[in-house]
Structure formats: structure tokens, C-alpha cells
Structure 1
Amino acid sequence: MSGEPASADRPVRAGIPEHGRVPRYYALKVRLLELIAELGEGAALPTERELSERYDVSRASVRQAVADLVLDGRLRRRQGSGTFVAGPKLVQRLALVSYTEGLRQQGVDPGRALITLEHLPADENLARELHIEPGAEVVHLERVLLADGERVGLESTFLVSARFPDLLDVFEPAGSLYACLRDELGVVFAGAEERVETVLATPREALLVGTPPGLPMLLLHRVSWEPDGTPFERVRSLFRGDRLSFVTRLGPDS
């Protein structure tokens, strides 16, 4: 019996159906991965026509293989410039650590661009999660998340207004909210519950994050609470699946 060496980074017989016939686009995708390794990060990929001629495949197969590699985060498209070899994905820990701290640990400069900062009445679902009455006022903060100046996500945070009456006096929207809550307002992060799922961004979200509407996104829902168990924030974070991945460490008490 022969075949490719086993790898922990890909599924067994990746892309090969049980009948053994490998789709043309997938065979090309494998060859493009070799080309990507040769070109190196930031290099421009040859044009669709050039790849079609080089590998003797249809342009439709080239288009599908490249689209797959974009979704995998191996290639990046730049409007009006072409397609380029992407760098490695950023990694965020699923832990009580802020977005800012997570990126700085990787040597990446975090940033945020303010979209919305307003007071709103909580609907029934939000009120239930934050243990407040429906209609009670919350602060809504929406920001585009940046990594070395690149848009990588969109974060929407709801905080109980009564708990933080001075928030807008001390908070700088371009900075770390967690650092402000901890250092300026004395919040102790005792725990959080986080749920992760995949979604397609809405047209508005895709526009803000700068991605095509069909690009899969990673969606995180998070509720954080203080030592007495009282929740104080509800966060909805949308991240580009081609630029970020998430990691956590498991143990017997997880």
C-alpha cells in the first residue's frame, strides 16, 4: 500500500473521493500549494490565463482552485491589484485575554476604528443575558478590528449603563476596552462563556470588514461576569476566517 505520508495538518486522503477520481480543480489546488511555497509570502500569483496555460487546465478550474485557496487563507485578493500569497493566520486564544493583548503577544499591532457609540434600551434577549430589565439602558460600542492596519473583524459590545456611568468619560474608542474597564473602572474579569460558530457576513458587515459577502466568517458570542457572578458585558465578534484562527487548551477540569 502506498500514498502520501500521514499528516496532522490535513485530513486523510484530503480531497480524494472514495471512487478515486480527483477533481481537476483539486489536483490543480495541490500544485498551486507547491507554487505558493516557492513564491513566498507577499508574492503575486500568476494570472488566471497564465495558470491555465502552465497547468493545461480550464480557466474555470483555475478560478475554483484559487477561490478555495483564498477561503483557506493561503491567498489574498487585492482589489485592482491581483492575487497574492498570504502570510500565516493570526491566532487568538479563547481565554480571558483581550484582542489587544492577544495580537501583541504575536508581535502584531492591534487597532480599532469606531463605527458606533450609543445608548440603547435592551431587548428581552439582551436583558436576560445581562440580568437586567427589558428596556434598561445599555452602552453599545461597535468597532472594526485591525491587525497591522488590516481590517480583520467587527466587534459589537453591549455594557450595562448603570454599572458604568462614567465609561464615556474615561474610555478612548481606539484603545482596549478591557484595559479601560480593568485599569480605570476597577472591573475584575472573573469568567466568561463564549460560543463560536461560522456564518456568512451580511452585506453591511462585509463592507465594514472589507471582504466579499460570501466569505465564511467566525462568529464569537461572549458574556463576561464579575466575581459575584453578575454579567456586565455581551460581545458579538465577527472575524475573517481567512485571517484568524482560534486556539484553546483543554484539561481534565475543562
Structure 2
Amino acid sequence: MTEKPEPGVPLHFVVKTRLIELLDQLGEGAALPPERSLAKDFGVSRWTMRQAIRELTADGRLRARQGQGTFVATPKLIQPLALVSYTEALRAQGHDPGREVVGFDQIPADAVLAASLGIAEDDAVYRLERVLLADGQPIGLETTYLAVERFPTLREVLRPTGSLYRCLTDDLGVRFGEGEEVVETVIATPREAELLKATQSLPMLLLNRISRDTDGRTIETVRSLFRGDRVGFRATLRP
């Protein structure tokens, strides 16, 4: 029987805490017992159990597989908030990185994009949109904008499924100096949710970054949308 929660603490939160202990015992990849039996064992209603399971799924601790059940999820991928290659950061954690190209075209810069890239309005801009993969599964959707005038040979030297960071540094001689990144939570659009194989109710983390070289010139602006159940971020803070 689940203990009575303290005043002001929702019952499903107590259930959620006890479920986490159960997940640790079951281990990664194990199937979660049926909701009905869990509710009976915990002495709560199925609605309360369902709410706790729903929150643990949103937190990335559980993963539902249609027609199969709910399973203990693998730990979240923790990405550094730093000017490093996505490929290298993922490999350092023992995962296989990958990318699927959604689009690679040229567009005229609007006023906001022109200001962020330090170019004139209507100047040509590369727009590279790719689904980011970890072990073959989509975890993020990244859209990068770069000035065509500054990188006229980008299409010739970039492998669309390869590391853009590595291409810019090794092939085009760019030296990254600093970046500014803003992180917020958002709800995915229907298109974004479809590309990330997620539901629109799943929390997403949105990162907007401007990267500059060692001379202070803007290299790129990047919009990255990540599944909140699969990815977390780490920053090193110093006084």
C-alpha cells in the first residue's frame, strides 16, 4: 500500500518516486508490469498509476512501444553546451552518431537572419536541415544557416551526413572562438514531431545558437530541437 502523501504532495508523485525505485531494480530495457497490476500492488487507482507512468515517460525514464508495452528507457544522452562536434560528443559517450538530411538549399536572408549573420538583407544563405540520430534513433532536428558569400564552396566540400563542424574547421579553415546559446522548452509542430518520431505532447528542448570565429565574425546561426525524453545538457560554470 502506498503511504499517504504529505499535505500538498500529489499522490501520483509518491507513486512516481516508488516507481523510480522499481525501475532501478528492473534495469535498462526491462518491461514494466501492466498498469492494472501495478495499481493493485501500490494500492492506488489506475488513473493515479497512469499519471505517474505518463510523467516518467515524459522524463525519459520509460519508453512506450506501440503494441508491445512500456519499458525501462536507456539513460538520457547528456550533451555539453559547448562549441564541440555533435559527432565527437556522442562518440565520447559510446553512441553511434548519424544524420539524415531533410533539406539543403539557399534562401534570401530576412532582416533577423541578416542581422545575426552580419550580412545584408536578401543576401543568399545556406539552410541545412538535418535529423540528428543516436544509434539510429532520432533525437534532434538541427537547422543551420550560413552566409553563401563567406562559404561559397560549402556544397562541394560538405558531406551532408557528415560533421559540419569538422568540415568548417578542417576543410574551410574556420576557427571557432565563442558562441551564445539560449535554451528553452517548446512544443513541437506536427512536422517536427513526425520527423522526430514523437508526439506533440512530448516536451522538447529548443537551442538557438550563434557561433563566432576567433576574430568575432559570425560563422553560423543554429536552431536545434531535441527530444526532452532522450537528451539533457550539461554546462561548466565558473565564477
TM-score range with shorter-chain normalisation?
A: over 0.9
Q: Distance in 2 between matches of 1:27 and 1:95?
A: 36
Q: Distance in 1 between matches of 2:17 and 2:212?
A: 46
CA drift of 1:203 comes to 1.2
CA drift of 1:21 comes to 4.8
Tell me which of 30, 39, 45 is aligned to 1:58.
Answer: 45
Tell me which of 224, 228, 244 is aligned to 2:231.
Answer: 244
Q: Percent identity?
A: 57
- Give deviations 1:68-126, integer Å, cap 9, x for gaps: 10111111112222111012111111111111111111111111011011110111101
TM-score normalized by the length of structure 2: 0.94
Q: Which residue of 1 aligns with 2:115?
A: 128
Q: Distance in 2 between matches of 1:118 and 1:39?
A: 47
Secondary structure of the residue aligned to 2:176 is coil
Q: Which residue of 2 aligns with 1:27?
A: 14
Query: 1:35-114 residue pairs with structure 2 within 5 A?
Result: 35-114=22-101
TM-score normalized by the length of structure 1: 0.89
Q: Which residue of 1 aligns with 2:187?
A: 200
Give runs of ≥4 in structure 1 deviating > 6 Å: none
Q: Distance in 1 between matches of 2:9 and 2:180?
A: 42
Q: Which residue of 1 aligns with 2:203?
A: 216
- Give deviations 1:113-162, integer Å, cap 9, x for gaps: 11011110111101010011111110000011111111111000001011
- Residue 169 of structure 1 aligns with an amino acid whose one-letter code is E
Tell me which of 127, 133, 150 is aligned to 2:137.
Answer: 150
Q: Which residue of 1 aligns with 2:154?
A: 167
Q: Distance in 2 between matches of 1:236 and 1:42?
A: 32
Q: Compute the RMSD of aligned alpha carbons.
A: 1.3
In structure 2, runs of 5+ residues without a counterpart are none
Secondary structure of the residue aligned to 1:33 is helix
Q: Distance in 2 between matches of 1:30 and 1:227?
A: 47
Tell me which of 207, 223, 231 is aligned to 2:218.
Answer: 231
- Residue 150 of structure 1 aligns with an amino acid whose one-letter code is Q
Secondary structure of the residue aligned to 2:64 is strand
CA drift of 1:24 comes to 2.4
Q: Distance in 2 between matches of 1:27 and 1:186?
A: 55
Residues matched between the structures, number:
235
Q: Which residue of 1 aligns with 2:163?
A: 176
1:140 aligns with 2:127: yes
1:187 aligns with 2:174: yes
